[in-house]
């Protein structure tokens, strides 16, 4: 994420808020996670996608609810998220 922040410095604050909320919470399942992050989406191949910074950024993660671990797979701007090659990678589960 640090390379992304260097390129998109305005994303630092909203990502810090997301990280703080995640580190202070425990989620047993996706429904509990959505209580904190109502715009989160669960998509193919077990990815959970968070809209960050008023939907300016997309944080693609894998959430292991049992182990309480959120693994960041990718962080894109909204425009990058919409690129066909990125959509194909999401659908194939190759992030």
Domain boundaries, the chain: 2-92
Distance CA 94, CA 79 (A): 19
Distance CA 63, CA 27 (A): 9
pLDDT above 70 covers what percent of the chain?
Answer: 100
pLDDT at 46: 86
Tell me the pTM.
0.91
Q: Residue 45 above 90 pLDDT? A: no
Cα distances (angstroms) measured from residue 32 to each of 41, 83, 95: 13, 30, 25
Average pLDDT over residues 84-94: 92
pLDDT at 44: 73
Give 27's pLDDT tier (boundaries 50, 70, 90).
Answer: very high
C-alpha dihedral, 15 to 71 to 94 to 3, nearest 10°: 40
């Amino acid at each position: 994420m640090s390379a992304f922040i260097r390129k998109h410095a305005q994303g630092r604050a909203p990502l810090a808020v997301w990280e703080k909320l995640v580190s202070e919470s425990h989620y047993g399942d996706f429904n509990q996670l959505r209580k904190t992050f109502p715009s989160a989406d669960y998509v193919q191949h077990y990815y959970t996608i968070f809209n960050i910074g008023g939907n300016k950024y997309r944080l693609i993660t894998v959430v292991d609810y049992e182990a309480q671990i959120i693994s960041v797979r990718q962080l894109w701007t909204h425009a990058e998220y919409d690129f066909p090659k990125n959509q194909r990678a999401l659908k194939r589960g190759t992030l």
